[in-house]
């Protein structure tokens, strides 16, 4: 369901982070002081080692005495308006619904690590956006390059017009030579300046320059609001579906002689169909695949086909009177597996009306994206003969 992104009730900051938690407070500083964006919640996505560093440096968990950097920031810039940010807001890569009881990732080193990291980032952002009225600001400033990429890409899949993606820019030497720096302080605060493992002087945190660079990105959340359950957990499937909303995917129609049933392979998912459903889809797929051989192109009125041909391809269960409901069931089954990408399997009206109650219909998917597997060639030959006869009589 589409929402007005500007009528927001909840503002959320989400950051990826490695071993430098300062990117969280630096981003928070820029949002609060430069954009008047005060989040209601702060969420951090990191590794197991990064989590320990975030808890220690930002929240003071495990540290004896003192106030953590996040609390310092709230006291300095948001007195009485503390955003929700606790241990439950620190999400570890490789932990979540799709990973079961597996341990979180300490680093990203393998293909499986990359998959799990991508799924985690995507799941966290989607869960945040699932609450209506959420305005999301996501930062790519921390962590490994792959983490930043996944944050940006996952943001694109869930974002709506009111959401923002950014990177935080910190001027030297605060960027890398002042490990105790977390944000520009409202008053003078001298911090040690390091070089080659030694303290070589001090710098004033009050003088630090921190700026937010907003990143332009496609915001596809409105197109991908109604995804199947698997695509809400798997980053790779969500990406494939997003791509298929813009360009037609490769689709295979597979017929099993032994089972006398067929299925559709699409975006790596298998869509099982009844014999009747497969027959209706196959008839339109055959005509689409051979449209250059036929006068009149890919348009087809299945109800006009002789009963013998329908029985040859679809078995005795096929009834022309039920084709309309069968078409809608095919789409519903596909939507349950591939979401909006199922629109490529639509069988829709094309061309001119040939008589008052009927128009030819054609499969939306283009011929170059169709592959037929295990389909007897005799089926096409029988269909071709019927269509050539019907169309030649119409032309006469």
Q: Alpha-carbon distance 379 to 371, whole Å? A: 15
Those residues of the chain that have pLDDT short of 50 are: 1-3, 5-6, 396
Q: Which residues of 260-284 are buried (b: 16+ CB within 10 A; e: fewer)?
A: ebbbbebbebebebbbbbbbbbbbb
Torsion of CA 151, 152, 156, 161, to 10 degrees: 110
What distance lies between CA 324 and its chain's CA centroid? 32
- Give the 3-state secondary structure of residue 377: helix
- 362 phi and psi angles, rounded to 5 deg: -145, 150
Predicted pLDDT at 62: 73
Torsion of CA 237, 239, 240, 245, to 10 degrees: 130
Residue whose structure tokens are 């295990």: 374
Helices (H), 290-371: 307-314, 323-338
* Contact residues for 139 (Cβ-Cβ < 8 A; gap 6+): 13, 14, 15, 16, 23, 24, 27, 151, 165, 166, 167, 168
Q: Which residues of 215-227 are buried (b: 16+ CB within 10 A; e: fewer)?
A: eebebbbebbbeb
Q: Alpha-carbon distance 44 to 125, whole Å? A: 11
Cβ burial of 392 (10 Å; 0-12, 13-18, 19+) is exposed
Taken in order 379, 384, 389, 393, the sign of the CA dihedral is positive
State how beta strands 190-195 and 164-170 pair: unpaired
3-state helix, strand, coil in the chain (%, to 5): 40, 20, 40
For residue 286, the surrounding DSSP H or E stretch is helix 275-289
Give the pTM.
Answer: 0.88
For residue 386, the surrounding DSSP H or E stretch is helix 377-395
Predicted pLDDT at 5: 46
Half-sphere exposure of 224 (CA within 13 A, CB side): 30
- 158 phi and psi angles, rounded to 5 deg: -115, -10
Q: Left if phi > 0, otherwise alpha if psi is -120 to 50, otherwise beta: which for 194?
A: beta
Q: Alpha-carbon distance 47 to 105, whole Å? A: 5
Helices (H), 130-165: 145-158
Q: Alpha-carbon distance 363 to 370, whole Å? A: 10
Residue 118: which of 82, 77, 154 has the closest Cα?
154
DSSP secondary structure letter of residue 355: B
Q: Alpha-carbon distance 264 to 268, whole Å? A: 10
Residue 253: which of 77, 374, 348 has the closest Cα?
374
CB distance 342 to 231 below 8 Å: no
CB distance 298 to 363 below 8 Å: yes
């Amino acid at each position: 369901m589409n929402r007005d992104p500007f009528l927001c009730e909840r503002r959320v900051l989400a950051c990826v982070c490695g071993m430098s938690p300062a990117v969280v407070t630096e981003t928070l500083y820029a949002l609060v002081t430069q954009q008047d964006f005060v989040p209601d919640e702060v969420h951090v996505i990191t590794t197991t080692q990064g989590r320990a560093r975030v808890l220690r440096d930002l929240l003071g968990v495990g540290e004896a005495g003192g106030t953590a950097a996040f609390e310092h920031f709230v006291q300095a810039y948001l007195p009485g308006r503390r955003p929700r940010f606790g241990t439950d807001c620190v999400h570890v890569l490789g932990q979540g619904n799709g990973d079961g009881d597996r341990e979180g990732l300490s680093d990203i080193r393998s293909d499986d690590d990359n998959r799990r990291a991508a799924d985690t980032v995507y799941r966290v952002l989607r869960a945040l956006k699932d609450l209506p009225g959420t305005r999301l600001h996501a930062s790519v400033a921390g962590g490994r390059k792959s983490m930043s990429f996944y944050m940006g890409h996952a943001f694109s899949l869930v974002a709506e017009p009111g959401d923002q993606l950014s990177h935080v820019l910190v001027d030297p030497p605060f960027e890398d030579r002042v490990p105790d720096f977390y944000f520009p302080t409202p008053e003078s605060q001298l911090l040690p300046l390091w070089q080659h493992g030694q303290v070589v002087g001090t710098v004033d945190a009050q003088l630090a320059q921190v700026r937010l660079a907003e990143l332009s990105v496609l915001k596809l959340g409105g197109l991908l609001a109604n995804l199947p359950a698997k695509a809400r957990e798997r980053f790779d499937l969500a990406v494939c579906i997003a791509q298929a909303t813009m360009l037609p995917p490769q689709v295979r129609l597979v017929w099993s002689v032994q089972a006398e049933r067929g299925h559709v392979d699409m975006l790596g998912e298998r869509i099982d169909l009844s014999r009747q459903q497969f027959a209706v889809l196959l008839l339109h797929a055959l005509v689409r695949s051979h449209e250059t051989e036929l006068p009149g192109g890919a348009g087809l009125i299945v109800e006009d086909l002789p009963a013998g041909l329908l029985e040859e391809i679809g078995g005795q269960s096929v009834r022309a009177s039920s084709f309309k409901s069968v078409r809608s069931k095919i789409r519903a089954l596909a939507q349950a597996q591939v979401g909006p990408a199922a629109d490529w399997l639509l069988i829709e009206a094309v061309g001119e009306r040939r008589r008052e109650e009927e128009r030819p219909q054609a499969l939306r998917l283009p011929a170059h994206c169709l592959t037929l597997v295990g389909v007897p060639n005799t089926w096409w030959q029988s269909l071709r003969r019927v269509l050539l006869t019907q169309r030649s009589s119409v032309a006469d």
